[in-house]
Structure 1
């Protein structure tokens, strides 16, 4: 069966939108945010107590700037397109704050509603990440980190993603204890753990599904600026 064309630039735009919406859905469920954004969420909860203007989106690109520095140190090299990942992080942060406002209008309540919201968030998270894995435009620093580390050490990207997610989850637990007291889980809950365990597998599933139905092609000649 002939595969339909899916432009990589569109994958970038849709990936960011879906990923931002997924974070907002999971936050609204109060069952735990994804391990990808958990550290940033904890940073947001802590700093917003003192600085009312500090948003979840701002916490995202602040933390991603720090991760970008760590990635450069681990890889031992710097490429100009790495900076575009920070621009992506800022765009994502703005989309996240917008998504939070939209999801808040849904008025999620009741366990059934919360579980539905969380499940939709997990699925959207995997779809968003898999879309970003199919674009040349610099993804968020989280995804860039996974792609670059997997490439450097010749590892399966889905396995590296799962390992990264689990480490991120542990860091978030440590932050929760440090910020809100030992044994107090804020933002990091059972849903966070479940997401950490299945996200890599789901990303692999959706990536395979996309590749089976679509052929990813560039609509512009901008790829050279991101290599």
Structure 2
């Protein structure tokens, strides 16, 4: 196996680890009882409304996010990004797997819940950093965020646009919950904290992760990146 193929396999491995970290972040946020993480707040509420598993709702909603990308980018949409459907399906199963591993595990007291929330935030931020920085293909939420970043919020860095999109998803989730469930379900202070902090935590985290990935996956040992643009095309 030549170096190029080996590097590509390593990129896929990092990507999958990122998805798994994100899935466990979701599971920790659900078990914290302080609110589901923003990226999965909407799928979680839809699962409560429809009675389907969270993982199935993740796959369905993420497919809708891909459709939004196509509408926003039009001719600029690269059809290789339809592979997001494959990774969305894998992520959906990862979420169900993470939930089965954690089961009903919780840490007693409000301080314990906050501890679980912190773990969730760190895992979500780490997961997003890993699968975005290997520059294979974005997950649908980040792909949609990147498309909006390119077409609407052109002057803002990606992590700031992510904060905006996370908050938007949370607001939509609250509206659906009030309309169909008669109250706010799955969204609490933890969801809002995640929406505000994940994007911010990604910025310092990427200062460590990006150079590591550049060296490991792209053979740029002398390159230290301080800024990051998300890639949407599989190379």
Question: TM over 0.5: same fold?
Answer: yes
Q: What residue number does 1:144 align with?
A: 143
Q: 1:226 to 1:98 in 2, by over 3 A?
A: same
Instruction: Please give the secondary structure, in 2, of the residue aligned with 1:12.
Output: helix
Question: Does structure 2 conserve the Cα–Cα contact (< 8 Å) formed by 1:88 and 1:139?
Answer: no
Measure how far apart 1:94 and its partner are. Answer: 0.3
Q: Say which SS state the counterpart of residue 133 (structure 2) adopts.
A: coil
- Aligned to 1:76, the other structure's residue is in SS state helix
Q: Runs of 5+ in structure 2 lacking a partner?
A: 1-6, 219-230
- Alignment of 1:73 onto 2:71: yes
Size of the alignment, in residue pairs? 213
Partner-residue secondary structure (3-state), 2:78: coil
2:136 equivalent to 1:133: no
Q: What is the distance in 2 between the residues matched to 1:205 and 1:11?
A: 19
Measure the CA separation in 2 of the matches of 1:46 and 1:109. Answer: 28
Following superposition, the deviation at residue 35 of structure 1 comes to: 1.2
Give the TM-score normalised by the residue count of structure 2.
0.83
Q: Over aligned residues, Cα RMSD in angstroms? A: 2.3
Unaligned runs of 5+ in 1: 49-53
Note the C-alpha offset of 1:214. 4.7
SS of match in other structure, 2:214 = strand
Q: 1:152 to 1:55 in 2, by over 3 A?
A: same
Structure 1, residues 1-57: CA drift from partner, whole Å, max 9, x if none? xxxx99422320110000000000000111001111111110011111xxxxx2110
- Equivalent-residue separation in structure 1 for 2:32 and 2:39 (angstroms): 16
CA-to-partner distance for each residue in 1:126-156, whole Å, 9 max, x for gaps? 1101111112222320111122332445341
In terms of fraction of residues, the more helix-rich structure is 2
Are residue 159 (structure 1) and residue 160 (structure 2) matched?
yes
| Counterpart for residue 85 of structure 1 | 84
With normalisation by structure 1, the TM-score equals: 0.85
Q: Give the Cα–Cα distance (whole angstroms) in 2 for the partners of residues 213 and 62 of structure 1.
A: 33
